[in-house]
Amino acid sequence: MNILESSDFKNKVILVTGGAGFIGSHLIDKLLQLGAKVRCLDNFSTGKFENIQDFESNSNFQLIEGDIRNYDICLEATQGCDWVSHQAALGSVPRSIKDPLTTHAVNITGFLNIIEASRIAEIKNFVYAASSSTYGNSQALPKIESEIGEPLSPYALTKLVNENYASVYKKTYDFNSIGLRYFNVFGPKQDINGAYAAVIPKFVEALLNHKSPTINGDGSFSRDYTFIENVVQANLLALTSTSDCVLNETYNVACAEQTSLIELLNLLKHRLINYDDKVIDLQPNFGPEREGDVPHSLASITKARNLLAYNPEYNLESGLDLTVDWYVKNLKS
């Protein structure tokens, strides 16, 4: 099935929690293009109105400003919906270490509120954002969905609890869901500001300002960087899944490519020299390793390919081409 031409979304009422965030706003954009009626639930604690302001004129878009920690808001938001895409969360391992109580409240209590409200509303498809952090201290590569270790941070624990709740809701209430374990998502509109900004926008900002990027550790730590359009594709496939063999599973959403921080920095520099040749001479500063960081991450996407029909259209380099171009156009002052 070509999901971009599918009629499955036409006139479906879909709730996207965290819709003003980076991933949520990209997903809403695609859902509206496909003819869906989209509700966005966001409290703007990390999401930004500018991410969704272009949707305001679309009659198929509705904004509900509210917090998933409020169960009544979740009941209101899910009422009359067909499907739910739960993207709202407090991300960041360092933030969770600094403030585990808020991370727990949003990521666990908030998740329970929205899945229970979805059950009450008889939501047909419930898709939620899981995380590669669930693999914890497992050193096996590539990461396979069935083989996880012990969580290394409060954030990782909250995402594992989400998966456990989803499993319990199937066993107890016969409520179906799909969890998508994201691996280091990047792309246009990703927040460049704040202490918990992701590594790619932080590197780009530093380079464009002729500052040396800071690398935590010696630069050998590696990740499976995943372009946002691949993540949107996985969500669309999950939302439209009806087969028993596909539902009530978790899937890695990644590119199955391993890239170290040093390699990533060099890839960015070689793209940015097309706009500013001074960046090539900038060398990184090396800082201490971050507490709770997993040294290496590489996903197996075999399960997602075989069951979800997930097929990432962008690898790291093609995704970086589009991302760097967007940041240059939107950050140059």
For residue 317, pLDDT beyond 70: yes
* Mean pLDDT score, 321-329: 94
Q: Which CATH architecture is the domain 11-185+228-256+300-314 placed in?
A: 3-Layer(aba) Sandwich (3.40)
Q: Model confidence over 249-288: pLDDT tens digits?
A: 999 999 999 999 999 999 999 999 988 888 998 999 898 8
Q: Model confidence over 196-246: pLDDT tens digits?
A: 568 999 999 999 999 999 898 899 999 999 999 999 999 999 999 999 999
**Can you give the residue ranges of every domain in the chain?**
11-185+228-256+300-314
Say what the pLDDT of residue 2 is.
46
32 closest CA partner among 46, 47, 16: 16
Q: Model confidence over 56-94: pLDDT tens digits?
A: 999 999 999 999 999 999 999 999 999 999 999 998 888
The CA distance from 116 to 299, in Å, is: 30
The CA distance from 29 to 116, in Å, is: 26
* Mean pLDDT score, 120-133: 97
The CA distance from 154 to 159, in Å, is: 9
Say what the pLDDT of residue 231 is.
98
The CA distance from 279 to 272, in Å, is: 7
Task: Specify whether the CB–CB gap between 134 and 112 falls below 8 A.
Answer: no
pTM higher than 0.75, yes or no? Answer: yes
For residue 331, pLDDT beyond 90: no
* Mean pLDDT score, 4-21: 88
Q: Is the peptide bond before 295 cis (omega within 30 degrees of 0)?
A: no
252 closest CA partner among 125, 144, 103: 144
For residue 330, pLDDT beyond 60: yes
The CA distance from 70 to 52, in Å, is: 22
Catalytic site includes residue 135: no
- Split at pLDDT 50, 70, 90, the class of 292 is confident
82 closest CA partner among 10, 135, 24: 10
**Annotated catalytic residue within 135, 155, 225, 310:** 155
What contacts 258, CB < 8 A, 6 or more positions away? 141, 222, 223, 224, 296, 297, 298
Say what the pLDDT of residue 249 is.
98
For residue 125, pLDDT beyond 70: yes
Q: What torsion do the CA atoms of 97, 99, 101, 104 make, to the nearest 10 degrees?
A: -60
For residue 328, pLDDT beyond 70: yes
Say what the pLDDT of residue 35 is.
95
The CA distance from 128 to 98, in Å, is: 25
